[in-house]
Amino acid sequence: MAPLKMLLASALLLGSTAASAHDYHAGELDIAHPWSRPLPPVATTGVAYLKVTNKGDSDDVLLSAESPVAEKVEIHTHVKDGDMMKMRQLEELVIPAHGEQTLAPGGHHLMLMGLKQVPVEGERFPVTLHFKQAGAVEVEVAVDAEPDAHHQTQHQDNQHNH
């Protein structure tokens, strides 16, 4: 019975990591671990991150996003302007066939404009993503101060002015 016990033990381990990382599937897309940083109560804009993988043979396109916690959600990227990183709105974000797009600090992100509800650590809030092929996908954004220390950057996205 030893092998079965080991199997159960590793299944339990997997289960515990899956509790913090969460994934969504829609058509050919995998959407991994949507997350956001906690913000002070005075915050008026927030940022959400996630990773989209396209397993399909044709490109998909993130057209827009929306959330009940914000007036509107924009797709943003960072562009280097001299020594400064500036944010720029994207009309859409292509997820190439058999490719991926990572929305992460310092790069692409979802900008939550006009926050109605500030992200509080440990809570989750819904965001609906609209894809050209996969359609509307509702995901839960986990509010987490340090979801992945490897991806820490100097950027404070929330301090950008719009």
* Chain positions contacting Cu ion, by CB under 5 A: 76, 87, 111
Rounded to a whole number of angstroms, the distance between the first and last alpha carbons of the chain is: 61
Q: In the complex, what is the shortest distance from the CB of residue 87 to Cu ion, in angstroms, rounded to a whole number?
A: 4
Min. distance of Cβ 76 from Cu ion in angstroms? 3
Residues 16, 9 contacting (CB under 8 angstroms): no
Task: Closer to Cu ion by CB, 48 or 87: give it.
Answer: 87
Report the residue number, 63 or 113, with the smaller CB distance to Cu ion. Answer: 113
Q: How far is the CB of 160 from Cu ion (least distance, A)?
A: 6
CA within 13 Å, CB half, 23: 9
d(CA 6, CA 142): 31
Neighbouring CB atoms inside 10 A of 66's CB total 18
CB nearer to Cu ion: pick between 26 and 112: 112
Q: CA quadruple 124, 38, 122, 108: dihedral positive or negative?
A: positive
Q: Is the CB of 47 or the CB of 143 nearer to Cu ion?
A: 47
Residue with tokens 């990591």: 17
Closest-approach residue to Cu ion (CB): 76
Q: How far is the CB of 27 from Cu ion (least distance, A)?
A: 27
